[in-house]
Amino acid sequence: MNVFAGGGNTSYNLAKNIMDVMHKEKVSNQWMLFTFHSNVPHKLSTDGTKTIYLAYDSETKVTDKTIWDEIAHFDSNEPDLILCVDRTSYNFYKKYGLPAEYIPMGYDDLNYKEANVERKHGIGFIGSIDEQRNSIFHERYLMVSDLMRQSKIYHPTVGNQINYNKINEEYSKCVVGLNDIILGINQRCFEIPVAGAAMLVNSQIRDSINKEYPLKENKHYIVYDLFSDMMINAKAMIENGEATLKMGERAKKVALRYPFSKGVIKVIDKWKMR
């Protein structure tokens, strides 16, 4: 099983998770997995290698145009299989008759382990921001950073291709994990709770969680509607430390019921990849 992956933390870690599962399940080496950011030529091989394309995007950014922009990169050769981790892009690919499969997001159960660290920070955010990202997200991240740094309770970890164990360790140091910037169901919906941190999310992420994921507002996470309310809610969560820690533990029990490998193995079986 060969993998070519690049891009930010989500693309990198999802590709690595899939690769780990496929290696464990002894998938044939004729399969090659790549991501949109992998810098592998999109004119795909015709030498018998079977290609898997990992499509990842926020459900709120998927449109006919974005799907066609990605399809255009395949040139005249379509991949043998497109793996989608959000239902919206999956539905679009199926709409155009492409060989797509949906794999629900989940935590990296093959690499997960309890982090033996002190929960010494108030609120943490982990993510990659660079000039290639949409300017509105870049600006929003800078606003978050400046505001939270001024509060002296903020613990940011910013960079590309931060591995899962590091992500888990950093969130395990925090009472609260901030889930902002990327809208819709995203990996932070799993990374934050499995680390035992309580999640603070914007209302658009809340709406997506309600569709697929049995975490309940005010029981497992806190929501803010307006950007100006974010700091108010963050400070309240920190001040209510014991209640917030219990919220994180309740969310952790739910998140641990969603191993990512389960969906990958279903695809392996369906496509007879071994």
Q: Return the amino acid letter for 110.
A: L
- Return per-residue pLDDT of the chain as tens, 274 residues: 454 444 466 777 888 888 899 999 999 888 888 775 544 444 445 566 788 888 776 555 566 556 656 665 565 567 788 898 888 888 888 888 889 999 999 999 998 999 999 998 888 888 765 444 444 445 555 666 665 555 556 676 666 668 888 899 999 999 999 887 666 788 899 999 999 999 999 888 898 898 888 999 999 999 998 777 887 898 899 889 899 999 999 999 999 999 999 999 999 999 999 8
CATH homologous superfamily for the domain 121-255: Glycogen Phosphorylase B; (3.40.50.2000)
pTM: 0.84
What is the residue extent of each domain of the chain? Answer: 2-106+259-270, 121-255
The number of CA neighbours under 13 Å toward the Cβ of 19 is 16
How far apart, in whole angstroms, are the C-alpha atoms of residue 162 and residue 153?
22
How far apart, in whole angstroms, are the C-alpha atoms of residue 72 and residue 27?
28
